[in-house]
Amino acid sequence: MAQSTPRDTILVVNAGSSSIKFQLFDLDDDALPALLRGQIEGIGTHPRLVVKGGETLHLPAEAEGVPGALAFLGAWLREHAGAGGLPVAIGHRVVHGGPAFDTHVVVDEAVIATLETYIPLAPLHQPNNLAPIRAIRRIMPDVVQVACFDTAFHRRHPELADRYALPERLYQDGVRRYGFHGLSYEYIARRLAEIAPEVAPDIANGRVVAAHLGSGASMCAIQAGRSVDSTMGFTAMDGLPMGTRPGQLDPGVVLYLMDQGMDVRAIEHLLYHDCGLKGLSGVSNDVRDLLASADPRARFALDYFVYRAGLAIGSLAAAMGGIDALVFTAGIGERAPSIRKGIAERARWLGLDLDGPANEAANGAGETRISTPGSRVKAYVVPTDEERMIALHTRDILGRHH
């Protein structure tokens, strides 16, 4: 049997605390199609490779930990992807680019050293984002790696949107509103420009509030495809309540907790791990569990989430001088019609009229309009694809790098 022609590929890595999501993209095709996608789950306990639409493989004992899991993934890709060797480049999601990086960059030791200084700004994410970068530099030192930042899409904000009412020296030190989920919002902005006119007529150049609702949740004001403002700020804790994070919080609460004897690490753990939907409900941080629960605290947590989201839509609409469309994306946004319904009802005063049956039918399988034909403000469900956005940026940087 004749062997297939080897392909040049881009590997995209989106690493969490115990999992590594990946997609392999065909660099030889201008459309940049995904050849494979999956994740390595259970890192540190019982690691296994799960391929979408394919097999599940349990990793051998020597492959435990991030370096071992990545080495196993590299060997598996060489065997199954027909890539003819290692990927040409590897793109990574990195949550915080801090004040130093307003665009995506090729990784070197200096970049890694700078990104490590931002770990206190994103303690849930940054260490996990950097771990595979370090491991791959040891395993495959000659492969180009690109860091793609969740903060980059928001870095063209006007200063009015980015400042806190703090002394100038703190702003110069980098204490400012960064915003996050930028890769998701950038994908949504591009996708709106591509969607057929009957689905999203003239919205790409309009005033859009995009709602990235998942375990981490935020909203973004996008006008003519550019970020204008966002609910998240200095860290990924501000704005909407999330699975385990509180969202908007009076800083006086932190001072009170310090007066009660809690130290910095204890407060950090509380705010990142024990608040949000988990703290309010006492049941779970997962919306699916809360929707299935008969506990009134679970209902309250969901009502609180919807209430705060409604407030955020009004605020972001004010930042743009109005709103033409509301877009739901990410796990909750794409797959929880009752949450979408509650949020849309709180936006009726803006001119949004929800199409009930269309909303119930939308499940994240594709772009769906969920507002009525006569609704002044349009509403859509648009599945996000952060990995594709990373691949696109990596391809662009790879072209400049060579």
Indicate the number of domains in the chain.
2
Same domain flag for 137 and 211: no
* Paired tokens of 88: 């040409």
Distances (CA, A) of 234 to 166, 359, 363: 13, 34, 32
Going from the C-alpha of 295 to that of each of 178, 290, 292, 302, 341, the distances in angstroms are 36, 8, 9, 11, 21
Nearest CA to 389 out of 183, 91, 127, 236 is that of 183
Q: How many CB atoms lie under 10 A from the CB of residue 156?
A: 11
CA angle 98, 104, 107 (to 5 degrees): 90
pLDDT at 3: 43
Q: Is residue 369 part of a domain?
A: yes
Of 245, 246, 243, 247, which Cα lies nearest the Cα of 285?
A: 243
Query: pTM of the entire structure?
Result: 0.90
Please indicate, yes or no, whether residues 76 and 216 belong to a single structural domain of this protein. Answer: no
pLDDT in tens, 310-327: 999 999 999 999 999 999
- Tell me, what's the pLDDT at 82? 56
For residue 77, the model assigns a pLDDT of 75
Which helix (H) or strand (E) element contains residue 49? Answer: strand 48-51
Q: Does residue 229 share a domain with residue 116?
A: no
Q: Which residue has the higher pLDDT, 79 or 317?
A: 317
- State how far Cα 369 lies from the chain centre: 22
Closest CA to 271 of 246, 234, 254: 246
As a whole number, mean pLDDT of residues 99-107 equals 94
Tokens 């009229």, located at residue: 353
The answer to whether position 169 is within a domain reads no
d(CA 242, CA 182): 17
- What are the two backbone dihedrals, phi and then psi, of residue 165, each rounded to the nearest 5 degrees? -80, 65
φ/ψ (deg, to 5) at 185: -65, -35
Q: Is residue 282 part of a domain?
A: yes
Cβ partners under 8 Å of residue 250, min gap 6: none
Residues listed for the chain: 402
Q: Are 64 and 211 within one domain? A: no
pLDDT band at 103 (very low <50, low <70, confident <90, very high): very high
In a domain, 195, yes or no: no
Q: Give the pLDDT confidence score for residue 337 in this predicted structure.
A: 96
Are 207 and 135 members of one domain? no
Domain with 326 in it: what CATH number?
3.30.420.40
For residue 183, the SS3 value is: helix
Strands 368-369, 226-230: pairing is unpaired
Residue 15 has pLDDT above 90, yes or no: no
Residue 346 lies in a domain: yes
**Within a domain: residue 193?**
no
- Taking every pair of Cα atoms in the chain, the longest distance, rounded to a whole number of angstroms, is 73
Position 50, amino acid: V
89 in any annotated domain:
yes
Q: Of all residues in the chain, what percent carry a pLDDT higher than 90?
A: 64
Burial of 254 (0-12, 13-18, 19+ CB in 10 A): middle
Which entry of 108, 142, 150, 353 is annotated as an active-site residue?
150
Say if strands 89-94 and 144-149 run parallel, antiparallel, or are unpaired: parallel
Band of the pLDDT at 402, cuts 50, 70, 90? Answer: low
CA 366 to chain centre: 18
Tell me, what's the pLDDT at 42?
73
Active site residue 173: no
Q: Are residues 254 and 363 in the same domain?
A: yes
Nearest alpha carbon to residue 188 among 318, 371, 330: 330
User: CA triplet 15, 16, 20: central angle to 5 degrees?
Assistant: 45
- Going by their DSSP bridges, the two strands 20-26 and 34-41 should be labelled as antiparallel
Boundary (domain end) residue, out of 149, 184, 211: 149
Could you tell me if 134 and 237 lie in one domain?
A: no
Q: Report the DSSP pairing between strands 207-213 and 56-58.
A: unpaired
Window from 124-128, 279-283, 325-329, 374-378 with minimum mean pLDDT: 124-128
Residue 401 pLDDT level (bands cut at 50, 70, 90): low
The domain containing residue 121 runs over which residues? 9-149
Q: Is the pLDDT of residue 4 over 80?
A: no
Q: What is the pLDDT of residues 112-155, one digit of tens each?
A: 999 999 998 888 889 889 988 988 888 788 889 999 999 999 99
Do 145 and 208 lie in one domain? The reply is no
Same domain, 335 and 248: yes
Same domain, residue pair 20 and 122 = yes
CB of 106 within 8 A of CB of 401?
yes
219 and 361 belong to one structural domain: yes
E strands present in 303-392:
325-329, 368-369, 378-381
Model confidence pLDDT, tens digit, residues 216-271? 999 999 999 999 999 999 999 999 999 999 999 999 999 999 999 999 999 999 99
Contacts of residue 360, defined as CB under 8 A and 6 or more positions apart, other chains included, come to 337
What pLDDT is attached to residue 5?
52
Confidence at residue 122, expressed as pLDDT on a 0 to 100 scale: 87
Asked if the structure places residue 401 within a domain, the reply is: no
Average pLDDT over residues 49-76: 72
40: left (phi over 0), alpha (psi -120 to 50) or beta: beta
C-alpha dihedral sign at 98, 102, 105, 111: negative
Domain check: are 41 and 112 in the same one?
yes
Three-state DSSP at 100 gives coil
